[in-house]
Structure 1
Amino acid sequence: MSEHVVRVQDLRKTYRGGLEALRGVSFDIGRGETFALLGPNGAGKSTVIEILEGYRDRTSGEVSVLGVDPHRGGLDWKARLGIVLQNTGEAPTASVRELLAHFASFYPRSRDVDEVIAAVGLSEKAKVSVRKLSGGQRRRVDVALGIIGRPELLFLDEPTTGFDPEVRRHFWDLIRQLQAEGTTILLTTHYLDEAAELAERAAIIVAGEVASVGPIDDLGGPAARVPIVRWREGDAMHEERTDDPGALVAGLYARGGEPDRLEVVRPSLEDVYLSFLGDEARRVTEAGNAA
């Protein structure tokens, strides 16, 4: 893609007391692309997002969002953005339709309110107070507010937190619809299957630095994608990475038939992601995924 909607070069953020939240982060996002920002809690993802949205100043580095420095972005620039925050505070007493109609009036070319309500699966709740909705339904209202202004760039910060699996799949369909319309999307998520399903490219941020950036299937480089052969001999489990798992398996068969618990594993996005984390961060992430 020739046109970059987001450009970040050597972005740094140091807080009072010397805490370095970001240490030279660089990436870009092309027009119409869905880009995922991945990393454990405390890695710096939220700081990056807040700087791109214009809500937090940077210490140094170059940032351009829709051709504008976010630090200088005015109301016209902000009207081109859609933002779905991770936490949105107390729910209002207005109905779903009243709330969306109110927000739609702020934008010069907003989407049809009823079409947006239908798109997020809330048509039957259109006249219900947002405060009376379930947590998952309120999250869908958040998404509706993020897209009502027909944004050129949509920020989705953990958008499906609290969704059950069926609702999450419906949300993915909505994102695909936005992608087909040419919306550029910056997604942060702890669901790695979500990133793999929706994003073309991603950056993994660890301790304020970009550990890897590129197409989803290329993150970590060729070495991270080498297949793993696992098998059991006696009481011991064996594991070997190899570019030719077929030859290794054939050799094991030749030594005495099929080994016990033989499997060939091709590393997933989760495997690659975890390989960049320290032992403690890996433990916390794995515990969270198992919860």
Structure 2
Amino acid sequence: MKKQITRVLNGMPTQDGAGVNLTRAIGQPALRNLDPFLMLDEIRSDNPDDYIAGFPAHPHKGFETLSYMIQGSMEHNDSTGGHGLITSGGVQYMTAGKGIIHSETPKQDSGMLFGFQLWLNLPAKDKLQQPKYIDIPKKDIPVLKGTEDTGADATIKVIAGKFNGVGTEGPVVRSDIEAEIYDVTLNKGSLSTNIHTDKRGFIYVYHGKLEINGQVVAAKQIATLGEGEAIDLVALEESGFLLLAGLPINEPIIQYGPFVMNSMSEIDTALRDYQSGNFV
């Protein structure tokens, strides 16, 4: 059975950090979250005025962030002592857990900065774990390329999961939600995959135009995925897109800015802890 395309929405232009211009696909008013995914932002500009101010030190609690850079570089620093420089093709993966303060600073003053930040929710039992951070360079992200591996004129960067059960599993592991995160370039023709019917997720097209189970999705649009398994992808022109899926956590999502908990009382605690300097 083909996986349902439940909605197709335009990404919303907005600003965050110290005035960084971006497109918000998840976390906008029309799509507050998509359990287990809380936010997806795209940053893409060759004008440094759009990004140079970056994201000065700010707190997080109760979820994880995953930053993926397609082109350009961004430096990470956090209150646990975590530090990394994400460059083209690399990933930063941070678990905020019980509380962390971090900053993200562009390490360039010209040229293209193009990447994504994803927020992944944590179940209640894991929200107060110790914060942690890992830096994953491009060389550690498996790539499926060409008809031999994928059966299509496609390149698939495997950040989490194992695309169609082929090749090496991606370096980001969230076994509780069985996360799958792929960056796909489909040059022409078609590509098929299966995502378990219990998983929810989305396809975000960042380049070109794609037909997903018969529905056309253009650049800067997100298609949300419901029940069913089979996904047939046809490139109407050379296309680049993110495909993400995971099992819903099915718990209340109470978000207050950079804090995501299960109740307002927990949000109040998070605010008091941050204001009292009790984050790591």
More strand by share: 2
Normalising by structure 2, report the TM-score.
Answer: 0.31
**Structure with max Cα Rg:** 1
| More helix by percentage | 1
